[in-house]
C-alpha cells in the first residue's frame, strides 16, 4: 500500500517501541518520515531500521528550541507537514504522598507541554486537510495506582484533542487520539521480566486474553492518519484488547 506516498510525516519519540514501529509503517507506505529521539546513538539505529526517506532529529519535545530545529529542517527540505504523530512521552510511578515537584515537572513537560508545542509549532507548515494523532493511554481513563501524575497527563491529551478539533476545523485538520492498553514494547518486556506473574495477570484482565503488539497500534495510527478515516475527528481510539469497552 502507498497511502502516504510522498507525504511528510513527523513521529516524535520514534526511536523505540510504538513510535519506531509506527514510523516504519509510514515509511513502508511511501512517507518521508522525520523521527525524533533524545539519544543520538539509538536514534541513528532507528533511522536505519525504519529505512526509506527517513531523517532523525535528536531532541527533547519538552525543549522548544529542539522542536524549532525539527521544523526548520522540514521547512528547508519540504516546506510542509502532512501528518503529525505526537508520540513522545514518559511514564514514572509516584504514589500520592510521594509526588515531588521534579516528578511533576518531568512528566508534564514531556507528556503535555511537549505535545502542545509539537502540534502548535507544526501548524504553520501543516497542509489544510492534514492529520494529527496524539498518543494517549488507557491510563487516562483509569485510576491505576501510583500513576496519578502520568494518568492526569493522558487525560489532558484526550481533552486537547477535543478542543483542537474545533480550533482547526476551518483548515480541515483532523485531530484524534490513539490510546494503547498493555502493549509488548521493549519497556513492557523489561517490566514483565522484573515482575514475575504480571504477564498472566494482565492477560486475564484483557478480554482478548493477550498482550497487544506495537504493530497493532501502528495500524490504528495509520488508519487515523489516512483518508480512510476522513469523517473521524476528535475521537479516542482504544487499542487495548477490549479493556476499556468491556
Q: Please give the positions annotated as active site.
A: 150
The sign of the dihedral angle between the CA atoms of 217, 222, 228, 229 is positive
CB distance 238 to 245 below 8 Å: yes
Phi, psi of 241 (to 5 degrees): 70, 15
Nearest in space to 25 (alpha carbons), one of 57, 49, 43: 49
Region of residue 164 (left: phi > 0; alpha: psi -120 to 50; beta: else) = alpha
141: DSSP letter: G
Helix or strand run (H / E) with residue 156: helix 148-167
Whole-number Å distance between alpha carbons of 132 and 148: 26
* Sheet with 174-180, edge to edge strand ranges: 54-58, 32-37, 8-11, 81-86, 126-135, 174-180, 236-239
- Bridge-partner residues for 54, per DSSP? 33
Phi, psi of 225 (to 5 degrees): -85, -15
Whole-number Å distance between alpha carbons of 14 and 16: 6
Amino acid at each position: 500500500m502507498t497511502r502516504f506516498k510522498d507525504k511528510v510525516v513527523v513521529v516524535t519519540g520514534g526511536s523505540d517501541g510504538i513510535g519506531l514501529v509506527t514510523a516504519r509503517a509510514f515509511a513502508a507506505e511511501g512517507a518521508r518520515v522525520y523521527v525524533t529521539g533524545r539519544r543520538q546513538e539509538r536514534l541513528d539505529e532507528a533511522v536505519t531500521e525504519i529505512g526509506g526517506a527517513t531523517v532523525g532529529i535528536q531532541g527533547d519535545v519538552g525543549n522548544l528550541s529542539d522542536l524549532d530545529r525539527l521544523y526548520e529542517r522540514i521547512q528547508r527540505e519540504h516546506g510542509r507537514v502532512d501528518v503529525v504523530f505526537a508520540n513522545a512521552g514518559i511514564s514514572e510511578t509516584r504514589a500520592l504522598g510521594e509526588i515531588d515537584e521534579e516528578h511533576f515537572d518531568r512528566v508534564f513537560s514531556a507528556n503535555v507541554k511537549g505535545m502542545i508545542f509539537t502540534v502548535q509549532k507544526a501548524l504553520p507548515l501543516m497542509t489544510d486537510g492534514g492529520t494529527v494523532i496524539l498518543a494517549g493511554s488507557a491510563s487516562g481513563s483509569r485510576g491505576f495506582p501510583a500513576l496519578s501524575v502520568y494518568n492526569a497527563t493522558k487525560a489532558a491529551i484526550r481533552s486537547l484533542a477535543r478542543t483542537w478539533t474545533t480550533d482547526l476545523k476551518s483548515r480541515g485538520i483532523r485531530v484524534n487520539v490513539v490510546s494503547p492498553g498493555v502493549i509488548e514494547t521493549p519497556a513492557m518486556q523489561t517490566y514483565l521480566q522484573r515482575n514475575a506473574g504480571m504477564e498472566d495477570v494482565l492477560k486475564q484482565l484483557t478480554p482478548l486474553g493477550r498482550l497487544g503488539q506495537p504493530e497493532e497500534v501502528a495500524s490504528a495510527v495509520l488508519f487515523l492518519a489516512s483518508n480512510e478515516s476522513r469523517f473521524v475527528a476528535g475521537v479516542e481510539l482504544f487499542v487495548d484488547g477490549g479493556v476499556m469497552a468491556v
